[in-house]
């Protein structure tokens, strides 16, 4: 009625004449609207929307040609058990900067910072915690190139150390181990190395291929070596990006500032982000009003592997979302609107994940080729026994893959990892925490607990053959 400038009641009457019972807030088909408009002697046309096919994220996030790629700095996350010294190591790293006189000014907290060593740059993400890290990965964004795993020499491998290893392994990023607190007399790096062998991390000096560096965040000993090792691993990985294209990045942090509006820290991954660029991230869009680096200085452009804080987004962005520079405001809006719509739809359609009962269907339809399992047990020996038994169940159709195994209760971290890897969780003589249970329910992640190994093996075997009775 609004669009054709007619009385709403009149329109409703006409619709009834066509046999359409519609109220004020109902939607009608375009064909019906066209007929009604004709009744009023008016012509209408469809509003032109950006072609859906045109609006594919992969068009923004396209692959670059090999010859356009140039070396970019590595992006590093520091992970490890609480109190093992993640924050202290990051501080010590930033201090090497000041000591070498390369950096000036005060480091702003923007969630990431760039460090200079031997005239090369390394980007550090502020300890996102392995959970945030996996959350990002779940949204399809790989934020980190290299993980530094901090293990305190006086405490050794602890539950979150193992979690961090599992998350880094699932993301397929190399791990450099920093054995910290070596200034303490109780510290014993051999013990740490010994413990880490159980998780497949074998030190180079023990014939393995994991780099392990002894450090002390307190005295600064070994920090420079650690940084040089990061550069070495980065060099081997040949990290590259094309700086000459519209920018693609990832949101590291986002918040609302009373005075400045929506603020976001972006890690540029490809291309170059410019001041005044139009951008879109999730359902938020806008034009960049100002950009700052990790020293708080205003900058006008940021290339690959540069963390920048940006102002100008319409709404608070979501950490872990991708951000794209686009050609104009109309395109940015169109993407944001579509994301809004998708979010609405997603809320309606519950995503279904892997579930042992429905597995056979997936296999039959050729959709499921891999069954990922996370194993949690009460004793160490069980992890290995169970993992190899499950692996043996693999057949021509399905590859049974134990992606992580550890001792301990089933935590939210496990559920998150399961969600990111489309896995089910199987526990032996362990229970899920209340939080894990709730999170699993919300996200349709299957948790099965057993007290007898044989029963679990049998269930998975039955599921593979489509013979599993539903569990009530």
In the complex, the smallest distance separating the C-beta of residue 81 from ligand GDP, rounded to whole angstroms, is 7
Q: Which residues bind ligand GDP (CB under 6 A)?
A: 80, 82-88, 180-181, 183-184, 216-218
Is residue 109 a known part of a binding site? no
127 is in an annotated binding site: yes
Residue 180 Cβ, how far from ligand GDP at the closest point, in Å? Answer: 5
Q: Identify which of residues 91 and 328 has a Cβ nearer to ligand GDP in the complex.
A: 91
Smallest gap from Cβ 111 to ligand GDP, in A, equals 15
Smallest separation (angstroms) from ligand GDP to the CB of 80: 6
Indicate the residue among 159 and 261 with the shorter CB distance to ligand GDP: 159
180 is in an annotated binding site: yes
**Is 129 annotated as a binding-site member?**
yes
- The nearest distance, CB 149 to ligand GDP, in angstroms, is 11
**b/e for 6-44, b at 16 or more Cβ within 10 A?**
beeeebbebbeeeeeeeeeeeeeeeebbebbbebbeeee
CB of 137 or CB of 181, closer to ligand GDP: 181
- Residue 219 marked as a ligand binder: no
Residue 156 in marked binding region: no
| Residue among 93 and 239 whose Cβ is closer to ligand GDP | 93
Closest to ligand GDP by CB, 85 vs 156, is: 85
Nearer of residues 184 and 240 to ligand GDP, judged by Cβ:
184
The distance of closest approach from Cβ of residue 115 to ligand GDP in the complex, given in angstroms and rounded to an integer, is 17
**Does the annotation list 246 as a binding residue?**
no
Binding residue ranges: 80-87, 126-130, 180-183
Binding residue ranges for GTP: 80-87, 126-130, 180-183
């Amino acid at each position: 009625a609004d669009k054709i400038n007619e009385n709403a009641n009149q329109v409703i009457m006409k619709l009834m004449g066509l046999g359409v019972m519609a109220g004020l807030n109902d939607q009608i088909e375009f064909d019906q609207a066209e007929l009604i408009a004709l009744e009023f002697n008016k012509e209408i046309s469809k509003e032109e929307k950006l072609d859906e096919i045109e609006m594919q994220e992969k068009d923004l996030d396209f692959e670059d040609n090999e010859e356009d790629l140039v070396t970019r700095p590595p992006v590093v996350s520091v992970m490890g058990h609480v109190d093992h010294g993640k924050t202290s190591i990051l501080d010590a790293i930033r201090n090497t900067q000041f000591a070498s006189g390369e950096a000036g000014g005060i480091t702003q907290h923007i969630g990431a910072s760039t460090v200079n060593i031997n005239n090369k740059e390394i980007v550090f993400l502020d300890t996102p915690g392995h959970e945030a890290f996996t959350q990002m990965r779940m949204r399809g964004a790989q934020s980190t190139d290299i993980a530094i795993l901090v293990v305190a020499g006086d405490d050794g491998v602890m539950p979150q150390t193992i979690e961090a290893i599992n998350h880094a392994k699932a993301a397929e990023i190399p791990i450099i181990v920093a054995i910290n607190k070596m200034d303490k007399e109780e510290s014993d790096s051999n013990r740490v190395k010994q413990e880490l062998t159980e998780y497949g991390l074998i030190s180079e000096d023990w014939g393995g291929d994991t780099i392990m560096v002894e450090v002390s965040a307190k005295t600064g000993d070994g920090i420079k070596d650690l940084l040089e090792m990061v550069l070495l691993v980065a060099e081997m990985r040949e990290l590259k990006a094309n700086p000459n294209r519209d920018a693609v990045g990832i949101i590291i942090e986002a918040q609302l500032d009373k005075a400045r509006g929506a603020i976001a820290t972006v890690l540029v991954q490809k291309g170059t982000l410019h001041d005044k660029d139009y951008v879109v991230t999730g359902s938020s869009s806008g034009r960049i009003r100002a950009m700052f680096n990790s020293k708080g200085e205003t900058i006008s452009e940021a290339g690959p592997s540069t963390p920048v804080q940006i102002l100008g987004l319409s709404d608070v962005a979501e950490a872990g979302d991708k951000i794209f520079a686009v050609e104009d405001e109309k395109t940015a809006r169109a993407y944001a609107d579509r994301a809004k719509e998708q979010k609405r739809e997603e809320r309606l359609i519950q995503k279904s994940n892997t579930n042992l009962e429905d597995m056979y269907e997936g296999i039959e339809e050729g959709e499921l080729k891999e069954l990922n399992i996370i194993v949690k047990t009460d004793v160490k020996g069980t992890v290995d026994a169970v993992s190899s038994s499950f692996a043996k169940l693999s057949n021509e159709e399905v590859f049974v893959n134990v992606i992580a195994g550890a001792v301990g209760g089933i935590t939210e971290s496990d559920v998150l990892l399961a969600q990111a890897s489309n896995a089910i969780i199987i526990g032996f003589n362990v229970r899920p925490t209340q939080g894990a249970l709730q999170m699993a329910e919300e996200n349709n992640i299957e948790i099965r607990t057993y007290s007898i190994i044989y029963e679990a093996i049998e269930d998975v075997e039955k599921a593979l053959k489509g013979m599993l009775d539903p569990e009530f």
